[in-house]
Amino acid sequence: MELRLKDSGRTFATRWRARQILEELPEDDAPEISVALDEIVASPSFLAELYVGLLERYERVILLGLPDHQALAVRVAASMGLGDRVVAAATAGG
């Protein structure tokens, strides 16, 4: 399954917004979910809440289309001890 955040807006800054997006996700039995971060701006609190919610349902979260703030998304996961379950996909050409 793929969650494309830009389909829900461009700026994501609160834990409440993360919970809202999680509630809107359809049921899925897949072991992992891809999260497209292209064309959005997200705060550390939003990302932390999103990861926690997604990892209650999925074994692994794969970050796709990473924007300029790729380091932030990966750093938040690592600081939460989730570096083995939240991973950045290789970007094209890099």
Q: Mean pLDDT in each 10-residue stretch from start to end of the chain (94 residues)?
A: 92 94 93 91 91 94 75 84 85 48
* Phi then psi dihedrals of residue 49, to 5 deg: -65, -40
Least Cα distance to 57 among 34, 31, 78, 35 occurs for 31
Q: Where are the domains of the chain?
A: 2-88
Q: Sign of torsion, CA 90 77 37 20?
A: positive
Residue 93 pLDDT:
43
Residue 94 pLDDT:
44
Cα–Cα distance for residue pair 74/28, rounded to 1 Å: 24
Residue 83 pLDDT:
84
Does this model's pTM top 0.75?
yes
Residue 39 pLDDT:
85
Q: What token pair was written down for 13?
A: 């800054």
Cα–Cα distance for residue pair 23/81, rounded to 1 Å: 24
